[in-house]
Chain A
Amino acid sequence: MQLDKKRSIRQALAIATCGVLSQSPVSLQAADISWKSDMTTLHYAEQGRVSVSETIASFRREVGEDEWVSLKFSWDAITGASANGAIFNPPKSGSTQTVTSPSGTSRTFQTGGSETVDPLTRFKDVRVAAQVSNGQYLTPTLKGEAVGNLSFENDYDSYGAGGTLAWDIFQRMITLTGGLSIDIDTVRPINGNPPEFASISNTARLGQGEKQTIQSIIGLSQVVNRKTLTQLNYSRTMNDGYLTDPYKIVTVIDAASGAPVDYLYEKRPTSRVRNAIFWNTAHHFTEDVAHFSYRYYWDDWGVRSHTSDIQYRLEVWRGHSLQTSFRYYTQTAADFYQYSLTQGQPLPSFASADYRLGHLITKSTGIKYSIPFSKQIDFSLRAEQTHQNDADNLFPSVNATLFQAIFSISDRVDYAQSSRAPP
């Protein structure tokens, strides 16, 4: 037994030595790695506002000939300030008063002669999330995957489950996909949710808010020719329950002077039906690759949006690549979006001054450099600059930068990294 053990160690050392001598320093054989792993860490920062640090790790392993499992973990730390809906640039004078927010975290309001509220709410939160999935080929052309996920924040929990099916037809020229998922979320600020349309001076609090989300998607992807792949999806999402944001407020202004006289917690409808049509295309230029996508979105809150995204991946040298991207987004405002309410007027059924439901334009420009460490290991660095502005010029612009590092280990060799593509 002892001899066998020694022999096996000797053999293992011999194999390892031969492997080291016969291989280039960083190359790995396909059989050496049985897990596919993707890891990323990122820092997102808005100028003068929120910043987020996030780390995600995902692992995928074949557990049978046609079956696999995957696990994913995320951790976010969020800190900084977020626009709460109060109007910007009212006169600020007088003393500073600290008020307890629904999350239990202190929030600073500046009060003076005209009693103004700081339009930025400071907060700090941590989110942890996990996802597990199991997929398998049910027939040689039909693939199914079931997913379960949960996430926890200081004031928000989410539990979800879903599944997708993908069916290859016409000699695998077309893939039809369908998916369904349900999420049950709980909004639970530490001291409870504020009553909708209550003044911020009202300390009454309600219990936690619950909402349910059902998402469905159908799609078709098709091989157009040897170098082009295209996809068309339709998704429908139904939200029901407490959809109000307990941290957002609406300013009540004096009709004559326009000065703020009170601040009310916002109120949104209790249901939302969201639709999106998404078209995505990839084209191979023998070495470089371009991706283009366009999405049209509409919902019953009156939000309509157009999103265009283009990415061009330039092959630089020996698998190194440089990707540039540009995204343009524009949306109409929700029907109940109001920058402010007027004192003396009857309250509307719903109102929100959340700039994310306003007339918004977002432009993003990104760059990413990828370095192959081996045939199976890839490392990328990415930076993205985003500029978001209110088309009605009521809220100030938001500038954000994102830095992301991505480390990927594949369980199979991507020969595009190591061989010259045929003409």
Chain B
Amino acid sequence: MKTIFILLFAILLTGCITPIRPWERDLLAQQKMQLIPDAMESEVDQKVFFSKEGSSGGVGVGGGGCGCN
């Protein structure tokens, strides 16, 4: 599994991708195309699953602790 991710990371880093000019970024600039399109939805989901499952992480850092049960 880790190897797959390292390979994926390497492919991304090689930059074998056509540059997208600023005037071609109309779709990418839309709110719904952001990697986290709705911060409130994402925050609530992360908190629920952090409280109810044994694993968390991968998205960001900080945000405060909680003694959630």
Contact = CB atoms under 8 A, between A and B. Distances in A.
A237 B57 contact: yes
Nearest to B39: A38
Contacts of A225: 17-18, 20
A289 B32 contact: yes
B57 A215 contact: yes
B49 A153 contact: no
A406 B41 contact: yes
B40 A38 contact: yes
A117 interface: no
B65 to A, nearest CB: 4
Contacts, number: 221
B46 to A, nearest CB: 11
Interface string A18-52: 00000000000000000000111010100000100
A220 B30 contact: no
Interface residues of A, number: 106
Interface of B: 1-2, 5, 8-9, 12-13, 15, 17-20, 24-28, 30-35, 37-41, 43-45, 48-49, 52-67, 69
Interface of A: 38-40, 42, 44, 50, 54, 56, 58, 78, 82, 123, 127, 129, 131, 147, 149-151, 153, 155-156, 158, 160-162, 164, 170-171, 173-174, 179-181, 183, 185, 187, 213, 215-217, 220-227, 229-235, 237, 245, 247, 274-280, 282, 284, 286, 289, 291, 295-297, 299, 303, 305, 307, 313, 321, 329, 331, 334, 356-358, 360, 362, 368, 380, 382, 384, 386, 388, 398, 400, 402, 404, 406, 408, 410, 414-416, 421-422
